[in-house]
Amino acid sequence: MYEALVRRDSSFEGLFVVGVKTTGIFCRPTCPARKPRPDNVEYFSSVQGALAAGYRPCLRCRPLEPAGAAPVWLRDLLAAVDADPGGRWSDADLRARGLDPARVRRWFRREHGMTFHGYRRARRLGAALGQIRQGAPLTDTAYAAGYESESGFRDAFARLFGTAPGRARRVTQVTVNRLTTPLGPMVAAATERALLLLEFSDRRMLERQIARLRSLVGARFAPGDGEILARTQAQLDEYFAGARTAFDIPLEVPGSAFQRAVWDELRRIPYGETRSYAEQAAAIGRPDAVRAVARANGDNRIAILIPCHRVVGSDGRLTGYGGHLWRKRALLDREVTAARAR
């Protein structure tokens, strides 16, 4: 754990916090503050344990906030963008708010894979796609999105969505956003009706999952928010607080009949319990398809809500989790602890 603290290893987020005896402060493993000596620290498996031992939360890494949450210095700007997605922001506007444009750009590249201006543009065009699909005229939509000409709007729209605005009424609009959890940020994607994707942002082959989903539903993705994403965040918060054992978010899970049978069976595994791959295969009437079941579990695009983390090897060992095995262990430990407390 001390090595993880020195390296600021983000894979240990959610597994422990560290109390510094000389300052009385506790931190995340990724805290950028100067590292104390090994004999001046002690470790806790939860924030509650550190608070109960008399430590105060660090003001730099803010361990009381969910991992992956936007930093305090950026929140006013994000709120302003949410309030007016079509607004224009120059580097001078950022400086007027006391923000360094380069710092803002680095954060958005790291967390969203695009610059701040690219993020704003995608938000505007995502809102425009929704208006077009509801029948709004193209000219009105272009000007409402902040474009001075319809031709400029058409070009930008086609670059982002791969289709002309006039054809967009037949396109499935999917809104993408980051959700926060104690185990790190997650990427969520939803239509107006259902959740399509929920994965940890560092999941192996996440890009391939998104590309496959885009092909299956004929969707165009754009950053934004909505009722389904807000409900998902709220229910995840309750789950990690130990107050929720089941979810009622509507899901859309395109796949083969076999895959859907496997995913349906995953949702039947009780909270705080586990099943082996062999038991799961037998439960769907395919006892000879253990490997195929394991592959279908790996193709699950909705983590936690479709609980593939509850499937283990026949000998009880943890195997095969795209969100990394340490998270699988953390999820199971939380569920078992909360189930025993009920």
Is-catalytic flag, 27?
A: yes
Q: Indicate if 220 and 317 belong to the same structural domain.
A: yes
* Residue 32 or 70, more confident: 32
- Looking at 27, 31, 58, 61, which residue is catalytic? 27
Q: Same domain, yes or no, for 105 and 34?
A: no
Do 199 and 339 belong together in one domain? yes
Residue 192 shares a structural domain with residue 107: no
The reply to whether 62 falls in a domain is no
Is residue 83 situated within a structural domain?
Answer: yes
Instruction: Report if residue 107 sits inside a domain.
Output: yes
Determine the number of helices (DSSP H) and then strands (DSSP E) in the chain: 14, 10
pLDDT digits (tens, 9 = 90+) for 73-86: 888 888 888 777 66
Confidence grade of residue 47 (pLDDT, cut at 50, 70, 90):
confident
Identify the CATH number of the domain in which residue 148 sits: 1.10.10.60
Q: Choose, from 31, 58, 61, 308, the residue flagged as catalytic.
A: 308
Domain count, the chain: 3
pTM for the predicted model, two decimal places: 0.68
What digits encode the pLDDT tens for the residues 126-159?
777 777 666 677 666 776 666 766 777 767 766 6
pLDDT of residue 161: 66
CB contact at 8 A, 84 and 123: no
How far is it, in rounded angstroms, from Cα 41 to Cα 200? 29
Residues in CB range of 117: below 8 A, 6 or more apart: 89
The pLDDT of residue 270 is above 90:
yes
- Dist CA 331 CA 140 (whole Å): 48
- Strand 219-223 versus strand 172-179 pairing type: parallel
Give the end of a domain, one of 120, 137, 169: 169
For residue 309, count CB atoms less than 10 angstroms from its CB and return exposed for 0-12, middle for 13-18, buried for 19 or more.
buried
Cα–Cα dist 59/70, whole Å: 14
Tokens in use for 290? 């253990």
Query: What is the per-residue burial (b if ≥16 Cβ within 10 Å, else e) of 176-190?
Result: bbbbbbbbbbbbbbb
3 state DSSP class of 277: helix
Structural domain that includes position 77 = 67-169
Strands in 125-232 per DSSP E? 172-179, 186-190, 195-200, 219-223
